[in-house]
Amino acid sequence: MKPHIHELILDSVAAGVFTVDLDRRITCFNREAERITGLSRDKAIGMFWADAVRASDAEKDCALEHSLKTGEPIINKAIYLVDTKGGRVPVSITTAALRETDGTLVGAVESFRDLTLVEDLKRRVSEQYRMEDIIGRSSAMQELFRLLPIVAESDATVLVEGPSGTGKELVARAIHNLSPRKAHRFVAVNCGALPDTLLESELFGYHKGAFTDARTSKPGRFAVAEGGTLFFDEIGDISPAMQTRLLRVLQERSYEPLGSVEPVAADVRIMAATNRNIDALVREGKFREDLYYRLVVVRLALPPLRERREDILVLAEHFIGVFNRLRQKDIVGMADDARAILLEHDYPGNVRELHNIIEHAFVVCRGSFIERQHLPRWLHARERVPGIRHGLTLREMERILISDALDRHHGNRLVAGKELGIHPSTLFRKAEALAIDLPAQDGRSHGRQPPSEKR
């Protein structure tokens, strides 16, 4: 039988589409719906939609039921469908009520777009710009990723420098996890949080009777980290007396617990971090020069987030994935207005601040996309010109815009260039000059372009 014109039209749509009547039975099922669900049209027609299209929102907050009962549409809700083989297919759905010309409700329609390619691309981008728990696409972070496995092979002392919130401990943990010591403990000590008396007993431990309240012996952090790594956070905050004690341990590779006269050998790798200018502390006589040289055998620097803006959106997408798992949500991504505001901000709190901003957005966002109104109000107040940061160089802005366009169009240089108003060959030359990693394929090998998501 020759198909009706409306069937031909629906089959040409690059999204799954089906309609249901008031009894919740399927009355129309297009070709893309067949492909995504694995269910044939002939079998689907007449079935209860919940039996034919198994969705993650079927039992709670069902979009189709909402449109049937209220007449209100649901737009771009991210859920999972279960195909005939039991596989989970990520989709973005839109539902609406169907009415006669006189307004009588006769059913509902649902369209759904396959996000498998988008999810796969996100996963591959995450893998490309990730090492252990550190995320970054900027040249500074890529250079760090190159160095970490090399540094991990040795037992050299490492000093990680950078402002608070940049992830210094993550770098130290990554080195430990990539090293031959990974089977043993990674032990962190916050030097700025403890006074000297407590810090000494925490590090070296004590024997029973060493002081009034020492009713039992207690191992220190050196003993706990035996065979592994001991990380001193905020090493610049320790007192001169503690610096002397620590220097002796680094020189002799042994220590004495409080109340003991016998030295204990220390088989630990030492790493440290500081958010202070350690060179200035040495010049001012506030930090021992001999200890300084013991610590800076390998020196790694983490720049503030405002100096590696290429990492902002990559980190934001990573945090969205983290909170989706923690909060059991299905937020797909960010709208353009939200992305622009994130790129505008200077992040005095660095990566930790961005993490908190995304967490705030998850609390207030009820849809599938984080939009401007979901971001903290104080962030809006700081906004000047959307997407343009004062003091940003033309080269920095070009790199951000080209990288973002290529990401959103899955490496398709033709589409990205058209959006930016430049020829694909010009985009290619600029990408090379700006050291932007281009995918091996330009995105057109996937056939038709993946459907664009609401931003």
Burial of 420 (0-12, 13-18, 19+ CB in 10 A): middle
Together in a domain, 55 and 108 = yes
* Residue in 117, 98, 113, 92 with CA at minimum distance from that of residue 30: 113
Structural domain includes residue 372: yes
Structural domain includes residue 454: no
* Residue 439 pLDDT: 66
Together in a domain, 354 and 439 = yes
Domain that holds residue 368: 120-125+307-446
Structural domain includes residue 242: yes
Together in a domain, 385 and 362 = yes
Structural domain includes residue 46: yes
* Residue 93 pLDDT: 87
Spatial separation of the C-alpha atoms in residues 20 and 56, rounded to whole Å: 18
Together in a domain, 331 and 390 = yes
* Residue 454 pLDDT: 39
Together in a domain, 277 and 322 = no
CA atoms in the 13 A half-sphere facing the CB of 85 = 7
Please state the domain count of the chain.
Answer: 3
Structural domain includes residue 157: yes
The last residue of a domain, from among 71, 88, 114: 114
Spatial separation of the C-alpha atoms in residues 400 and 384, rounded to whole Å: 18
Together in a domain, 321 and 288 = no
Together in a domain, 256 and 329 = no
Together in a domain, 236 and 352 = no
Together in a domain, 286 and 166 = yes
Structural domain includes residue 453: no
Together in a domain, 319 and 263 = no
CATH code (residue 349): 1.10.8.60
Query: Do the beta carbons of residue 79 and residue 56 sit within 8 Å?
Result: yes
* Residue 382 pLDDT: 53
Spatial separation of the C-alpha atoms in residues 393 and 92, rounded to whole Å: 37
Three-state DSSP at 233 gives: strand
Structural domain includes residue 362: yes
Together in a domain, 349 and 421 = yes
Together in a domain, 220 and 235 = yes
Spatial separation of the C-alpha atoms in residues 18 and 211, rounded to whole Å: 77
The last residue of a domain, from among 303, 332, 352: 303
Structural domain includes residue 455: no
The last residue of a domain, from among 303, 334, 353: 303
Per-residue pLDDT of the chain (455 residues; tens, 9 = 90+): 455 777 778 888 878 899 999 999 999 999 999 988 889 999 999 999 888 888 866 656 788 888 998 988 888 787 778 877 777 788 888 899 999 988 899 999 999 888 776 666 556 655 667 787 898 888 899 999 999 999 999 999 999 999 999 999 999 999 999 999 999 999 999 988 888 778 888 898 887 755 656 667 788 899 999 999 999 999 999 999 899 999 999 999 998 888 777 888 999 999 999 999 999 999 999 999 999 999 999 999 999 999 998 899 989 988 998 898 888 887 878 888 888 899 889 999 999 999 999 999 999 998 778 988 999 988 875 544 444 455 556 677 788 888 878 877 778 888 888 878 788 888 888 888 887 877 655 555 443 443 344 33
* Residue in 395, 309, 289, 299 with CA at minimum distance from that of residue 351: 309
